[in-house]
A and B are shown apart, each in its own frame.
Chain A
């Protein structure tokens, strides 16, 4: 999967949970889910469950621990997809 395609899919996933429209419009690899998009931490688990559903992967606890930014999410998704 191309990077742009992955970012587009992630953008669709996080959209319902974001609370900062401007940061969402400018979403890039360096965007932080909590500090930039202001996603409520209780909704971070929804992002993770949605990622699992969308990409048909399982995100283990160690990977979940790092899922705080777009970049980290992309790396985890790529690794899990490669393991399939």
Chain B
């Protein structure tokens, strides 16, 4: 299982106000909350934890096939800014984060050191974002492979009506798009 999430940091600055009353309390555990406030860059820590939680959620949803909104249940532990673990109900997810000036990209996997293929790219035309991400992802597979979403919105790859044994995850935020998959 794989999940990924991208945060466009420039958009996050204007789209959300992490200092809003209740914002941290609703989404972060007490220890995450403390770590954010004690951080040299609280804004970056907020979005790093968020991105990790969201990537782990995308893994979890594929496994359990149920949607919900409970970011606080996903508890983050950082080994370094690049590596971490997210835990929910005794399920562990291994996180790899890529942090730049403009974005944070997190990839969560169920198994540690799973072989992952991922791509991250700039999207200038936001109206074509879904199409761009889908095209880039399917270009890794034979021409007849298609992307399909199931009834709860989880995407999978299909070839001749048969589901391929590949876990995929797509993400988009602002000017960035990304995907990840593992065989």
B116 contacts A by Cβ under 8 Å = no
Tally A residues with Cβ within 8 Å of B.
18
Q: Are B22 and A52 in contact (CB under 8 A)?
A: yes
Q: Are A48 and B26 in contact (CB under 8 A)?
A: yes
Residues in B with CB closer than 8 Å to A45 are: 23, 26-27, 71
Chain B interface SS verdict (over half): mixed
Residues in A with CB closer than 8 Å to B16 are: 42-43, 46
Q: Are A65 and B20 in contact (CB under 8 A)?
A: no
Please tell me which one of the listed residues B15, B22, B50, B68 contacts residue A65 in the complex, with CB atoms under 8 A apart: B68
Chain A interface SS verdict (over half): helix
Report the contact-size class of chain B (Cβ under 8 Å from the partner): 20 to 34
Complex: how many Å from CA A44 to CA B16? Answer: 10
Q: Are B20 and A49 in contact (CB under 8 A)?
A: yes
B44 contacts A by Cβ under 8 Å = no
Complex: how many Å from CA A49 to CA B16? Answer: 12
B: residues with CB less than 8 A from A are: 7, 12, 15-16, 20-23, 26-27, 50, 54, 67-72, 153, 173
**Besides A46-B23, A65-B69, 14 other A-B contacts (C-beta < 8 A):** A35-B153, A40-B15, A41-B54, A42-B16, A42-B54, A45-B23, A45-B27, A45-B71, A46-B20, A49-B20, A49-B21, A49-B26, A65-B70, A68-B69
